[in-house]
Amino acid sequence: MGIDGILNVNKPEGPTSFKIVARLRRLIAEKHVGHAGTLDPIATGVLPVCLGQATRITEYLANTSKTYFAQIELGIVTDTFDREGEILERYNPGGITLNRLEEALASFRGAIDQVPPAFSALKQQGRRCYELARAGVPVQPKPRRVEITRLELVDFQLPIVEIEIDCTKGTYIRSLANDIGKYLECGAHLRNLRRLRYGPFSLQNALSPDEIEEAFHRDEWKKLVHPMDSPLWEWKAIVVNKSNEIDIRTGRPVPVKENDDIPGEYCRAYNIDGNFLAVMRFVPEKWHWHPEKVFSVS
């Protein structure tokens, strides 16, 4: 029997996120395995890998905030915005002061319009942008609104800048590095990146693929799996009776209790045995919870 849940993987530098997923899929012989939030090959850190039915909640996990540690090198611009790219320009960053750097970081805090890198997995004309860029086709990703809720300087020793970032879905740290270089008029690229947190999953509790494989061979790997509803624990939770459970399983809504406060957009529904039953979406016009994703209970 398969298992439904999430592995908090500490991705090493080198392999793609897809290769990490493929390795775990082969290891545990689970058909449905997927990751939430791609990390570039040079990036390390938290990569949640969803198993079984948990693959159906990746979209909600993707909407949670993330924390990164980034090392940025001033003075060099690359086409990919990171150290793997072709060098396009070189500048002397020797005149950059701490005050000037702090001013630059302040300009990127809060809600900003960010242009993703041309070398990204976003699609243009039905193809991945990085495929077009590598083929020499001009790529012009559209700006999109992201929010950087925290941007702190950790260390500054020319030409290296180290920062920590809390941000929302869709933020490209490579673009941030490039934009900081533009602001300082000396160019910059992302040298190293480590994801410290993804929603409720932190680096302190993450395990490398090798550690997970060792636990598998000891038949202890299932102890490492987090409940599939763990990314949703900040949502309201409701417990439904047998009648409402049948309604949910057949796609019918459940009324919101009259004495309840105005709910959020979503809630977690559990049956009376405590099993995670469904993701429910609030429909204000009808004042009910509509089942958006229903899960089987073994």
Buried residues in 123-156 as b, exposed as e (16+ CB within 10 A): ebeeeebbebbeeeeebebeeeebbbeebeeeeb
Which member of 4, 40, 82, 229 is catalytic?
40
Q: For residue 100, which amino acid is it?
A: R
CA distance 238 to 192: 43
Evaluate the omega torsion of the peptide bond into residue 138 and state whether it is cis, within 30 degrees of 0.
no
CA distance 243 to 297: 16
Backbone angles phi, psi at 68, to 5 degrees: -130, 150
Q: Are 266 and 258 in contact (CB under 8 A)?
A: no
| Known active-site residue 40 | yes
Residue 174 β-bridge partners: none
CA distance 98 to 86: 28
The length of the chain is: 298
Which amino acids are annotated catalytic?
A: 40
